[in-house]
Structure 1
């Protein structure tokens, strides 16, 4: 499919055009609100074409999962931004301290200029438009580089944004990883990247010569910890939703489960029932999202081959026709029981519908396992005992947490989203995103007469006593 990829030679001139336009006409509140409203209207009107484009790029993706994972978060964020924008834009008065009395101090949220956004393939609409809309709300112009792995969706994004914004306010660069590397080296005023930790390191290195500030939304192995007191059937239902939505191709999907040893078999049985009721013998095949491309499919099959070669118990929870599965890149919801740390499924982020389950004898053992690895993007404690949950939260640091469920902290408009350590840096969503894409410029207002007028040589008498007093 011809996506009219952008020549690399156009990257810098396009950035310069965006920056010149921003300098000449910084968007005020009315312009920002109008932009967000027109984006929402165009997005809603183009939803049918969006579903077709995403489905074609995945080979097949549940339309309902696209509505839940793409349309709902984007619409909700646009509404949130529009509802809060005027209050966020107001200068915030802060104390100047008694030593500077009667001066007044304030923080003024000023836009940065041009924000670059590099979005991934797994949620190609959501993870492109939410940071883009946040940057627009913050008063910036935007240069978007969507994923080359979803070319039809990327072309749809380009066409959508061209309907809404002039070319000197929002631009889109289409191209492969080589173009992406050149894009990340541009001197943006802020750069948002969502993707793997490995590529995030390259983006950070490319941005370093320009001292470009970054928001890196990466990944990692997000654990679920099921305590002994939590009902296995309820845990299974919520884990199944978090793990099998989008065939597990979700950066905050539970990557593995640590479960109390006495509950393990009940959890496995409940997950089997969840898979049967959701997907059956593929009578509900339209609800089973495919793996995005052949490379990702082979990677996931390799994890299962590695597990079997190690003698691990691998449980495919529904029966797939092997010929059809191969042709359509389908992988059944699958469990891997008691993998060691050396198994591929425990060394790499899975990003697919494969769920390792390990049992523990006491909670400290589970916490030690998690703490020994990189800090995860998400953490999912399951317990009805508040003290147990607080014990987990007191030991483990993660980008975000949903207690007794999965994924939902991403959808909470007032909660920032981001990673920590190897799972990312910086946050966006709601006010956190607005703050990240503006500069809180400190301003001190000095009155006509001020005590500082006296603080000058010669430091004698009253002036010396004043200096001694101010110095404490």
Structure 2
């Protein structure tokens, strides 16, 4: 182990003394050299790496939860267990259960004219993966892509967020205790370090964060033609069907909106509901929120907003909407000193307000009434494609229409957030909400080169289509092109 864990918690994560760009270049070179010495690790080695990662993180579960709590000011320990450790354990367990099968070559047809040749697709490690981690779920969004990269046989460099310095320092220490630095390395630093990191010529770069920064990351990666997976955000809509169970829908999506105080990339961002149901929605939300978080001012299950700047932004979004004619329906009292922002239902918000244009990333929830499902679908489809879409409906025609007639990174029906926890589903965005996907098999593929390999038979007809081209060639070509 390269550093003592208590010391790692008491100070920011390391900044290289010779300057971030030079140190990052050297680290990448060391990892690439190490990869070339072992370019195709056996499954047994990959499984050992995954088990080592699982063991060290879960052995320090309480310490990681405490570090996150200190970084946020108040982060629910129960939420950390549910939303970070449970999902992460499932990801690791799935990789251990299926990874040996994932890495086996798969036979592919060659077509009749290439017989008796053989074809296969061989999953091959890419080399060195770069992973950029946001602050909102620092463990899950750092370790989950790492699981995919390790299962695929890669090395990895991980850039943690400067907004969670204690968690970043502890994560760096734990990874340093478990892996050689030329295998998995964690780096920390400000936006300048992040920019230098994104500009490295990785074999693959996975970034999780805002759409705005995603543009910058993609521009930086383009200079090296580095392939990217971008897990961005956007405004994830909820559609409540005309005959949906309203109380159930409110209860369900309130859980998704209050988890991590709405600081979740796939949190519901606005609700389309049948006109006239707004008052019933608000009343049910008040009742349910009081049940979920009794004695809200002192409740330890509700997470604080990450920083004063983020708290002020949410306040500004609400105030601007209200000044433009919107009504605010707070479900509790805010506490700026503790950065506790109670959920606020917003009605009559103008479409041009920042609240309705920007990803909210907090517990503000606008309601948008509609008269017909056609109108609701037009509203969703007139906007950038979201990372997630949520539908509450029990009738098959509505479910079928919304599923077919919208495009989103992922979708849950009669549920909120849970598609991200489904073991067999890929997670990723589309359009402005991102590109590429990971989790499970799709994560293994993301960090692999699915290498096509054709093997020619000793006895073959290749000479029949070689120059000089004559009458026999012409007859054969006509036969091959015959409809």
1:409 is aligned to 419
Paired residue for 1:209, among 223, 238, 244?
Answer: 223
Is residue 109 of structure 1 aligned with residue 109 of structure 2? no
Cα offsets for 1:377-397 (capped at 9, x unmatched): 000011111101111122210
- Work out the CA distance in 2 between the residues paired with 1:330 and 1:263: 28
Is residue 328 of structure 1 aligned with residue 342 of structure 2? no
Is residue 184 of structure 1 aligned with residue 198 of structure 2? yes
- Work out the CA distance in 1 between the residues paired with 2:396 and 2:209: 34
- Work out the CA distance in 2 between the residues paired with 1:261 and 1:454: 71
Shift in Å, 1:162:
1.2
Correspondence list, 1:13-412, <5 A = 13-26=26-39, 27-282=41-296, 285-320=299-334, 325-412=335-422
Paired residue for 1:10, among 4, 23, 27?
Answer: 23
Q: Report which stretch shifted further, 443-452 or 246-255.
A: 443-452
SS at match of 1:117: strand
Cα offsets for 1:17-41 (capped at 9, x unmatched): 0000000113221110100011111
Shift in Å, 1:376:
0.3
Shift in Å, 1:280:
2.7
Cα offsets for 1:93-131 (capped at 9, x unmatched): 000000111111000000110000001000011001000
1:428 is aligned to 438
Aligned CA-pair RMSD:
1.2
SS at match of 2:258: helix
SS at match of 1:200: helix
Residues 228, 262 of structure 1: 8 Å contact kept: no
Shift in Å, 1:339:
1.1
2:456 is aligned to 446
Shift in Å, 1:471:
3.4
Cα offsets for 1:51-93 (capped at 9, x unmatched): 1111000000110011111111111100001111010000000
- Unaligned 5+ segments in structure 2 are 1-10
- Work out the CA distance in 1 between the residues paired with 2:113 and 2:96: 39
Q: Report which stretch shifted further, 176-185 or 261-270.
A: 261-270
- Work out the CA distance in 2 between the residues paired with 1:464 and 1:386: 56
SS at match of 1:220: coil
- Work out the CA distance in 2 between the residues paired with 1:98 and 1:279: 66
Superposition TM-score, scaled by structure 1 size? 0.97
Shift in Å, 1:309:
1.3
Shift in Å, 1:166:
1.1
- Work out the CA distance in 2 between the residues paired with 1:429 and 1:219: 17
- Work out the CA distance in 1 between the residues paired with 2:302 and 2:457: 67
Superposition TM-score, scaled by structure 2 size? 0.95
SS at match of 1:286: coil
Shift in Å, 1:44:
1.1
Shift in Å, 1:450:
0.2
SS at match of 1:418: coil
Residues 281, 319 of structure 1: 8 Å contact kept: no
Shift in Å, 1:221:
0.2
- Work out the CA distance in 2 between the residues paired with 1:284 and 1:431: 42
Residues 321, 350 of structure 2: 8 Å contact kept: no
Shift in Å, 1:214:
0.3
- Unaligned 5+ segments in structure 1 are none
Cα offsets for 1:206-226 (capped at 9, x unmatched): 011100000000000000000
Specify whether residues 99 and 295 from structure 1 end up closer, same or farther in structure 2 by C-alpha distance, changes over 3 A only: same
- Work out the CA distance in 2 between the residues paired with 1:282 and 1:460: 87
SS at match of 2:239: strand
SS at match of 1:289: coil
Aligned length: 468
